Amino acid sequence: AQTVTQSQPEMSVQEAETVTLSCTYDTSESDYYLFWYKQPPSRQMILVIRQEAYKQQNATENRFSVNFQKAAKSFSLKISDSQLGDAAMYFCAPPSGNTPLVFGKGTRLSVIA
Amino acid sequence: KAGVTQTPRYLIKTRGQQVTLSCSPISGHRSVSWYQQTPGQGLQFLFEYFSETQRNKGNFPGRFSGRQFSNSRSEMNVSTLELGDSALYLCASSPGDRNNEQFFGPGTRLTVL
């Protein structure tokens, strides 16, 4: 079974600054997708970004990008030019062979004006 | 397309009762997954249904059950409620491919007294 570790329970960032959220995982699969989801206070889970494990290039979605290191099984999320609306819980989720998604414990991100 | 809808949004039950939660996936999506979210355990996978069949199951007791109808709508049932079942129950749908993004509903907040 896959395990996912998000080592930063809480983080804060100044508005307009950059922050990186870390995620490591364990898997025996060779071809898979990894996801970062955001859960704002409304509790609605929203996909932030997706990375295909077989792709060398790191995924980018506007201000959000990942640093994917397959050999190290590391999948960090970088948020540039942080905005107040980025404040939320962020969950790393690589899919496992048994379940659609296995989530980390999450990182609570605060954005300071 | 309309998003994933869940009903009811809030529920209050007492110990020993049973409850049924409903989830309507995005049109065309054949996979529906259920997750339980609590402050202590985080997000945990309950089960997944695909084309009316349970495709995957998490590590929850038999009091938790579900089903999927021919229109892909899904219901989750919890019998003999316990205080520890108080949680946010999230439903997610996807077309069905394991690597597809999951689209989440707003959740049902269940409180067991």
In whole angstroms, give the CA distance from residue B76 to residue A60: 36
**With an 8 Å Cβ cutoff, is B98 touching chain A?**
yes
Q: Is B96 on the interface with A (CB under 8 A)?
A: no
Q: Cβ of B102 and A42 within 8 Å?
A: no
Determine how many CB atoms are found less than 10 A away from the CB of residue A20.
15
Residues in chain B with CB shorter than 8 Å from the CB of A37 are 104
pLDDT of amino acid A53: 85
Contact residues of A toward B, CB < 8 A = 32-33, 35, 37, 42-47, 50, 52, 91, 95, 98-106
Q: What DSSP string runs through B18-86?
A: -EEEEEEPPTT--EEEEEEEETTTEEEEEEEEETTEEEEE-S--TTEEEEE-TTS-EEEEE-S--GGG-
Other Cβ atoms less than 10 A from the Cβ of B88: the count is 17
Of A77, A100, A109, A106, the residue nearest A4 (C-alpha): A106
pLDDT digits (tens, 9 = 90+) for B36-50: 999 988 899 999 999
pLDDT for B22: 98
Percentage of chain A lying above the pLDDT 70 cut: 93
B43/A contact by beta carbon, under 8 A:
yes
Q: Determine whether the interchain pair A106/B102 forms a contact, defined as Cβ–Cβ distance below 8 Å.
A: no
What digits encode the pLDDT tens for the residues B60-103?
999 999 999 999 999 999 999 999 999 999 999 998 776 678 89
- d(CA B99, nearest CA chain A) in Å: 6
Cβ neighbours, 10 Å, residue A31: 8
